[in-house]
């Protein structure tokens, strides 16, 4: 059976600590940067639905006709 002694144990402990710190760091960054990529389009979609529900069909048609005529 091979033993590495106390320095090997410390070295492996430092390596594992660095690995898990890096893992937590990258997961934090992914959450920080990926969340807006999903939240912003969802708010556009919800805002568009609310806008469509708040305006009657006659107002929507008049707005469409106003934008189409030169």
What is the widest separation between alpha-carbon atoms in the chain?
A: 88
Better-predicted residue by pLDDT, 3 or 16:
16
**What is the reported pTM?**
0.50
* Tens-place pLDDT, residues 12-60: 999 999 999 999 999 999 988 888 888 888 888 888 777 777 766 655 5
DSSP type of residue 55: S
H or E element at residue 2:
none
Distance CA(19)–CA(13), nearest Å, equals 10
């Amino acid at each position: 059976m091979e033993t590495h002694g106390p320095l090997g144990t410390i070295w492996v402990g430092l390596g594992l600590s660095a690995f898990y710190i890096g893992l937590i760091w990258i997961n934090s960054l992914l959450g920080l940067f990926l969340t807006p990529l999903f939240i912003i389009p969802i708010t556009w979609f919800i805002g568009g639905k609310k806008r469509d529900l708040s305006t009657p069909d006659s107002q929507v048609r008049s707005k469409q006709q106003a934008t189409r005529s030169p």
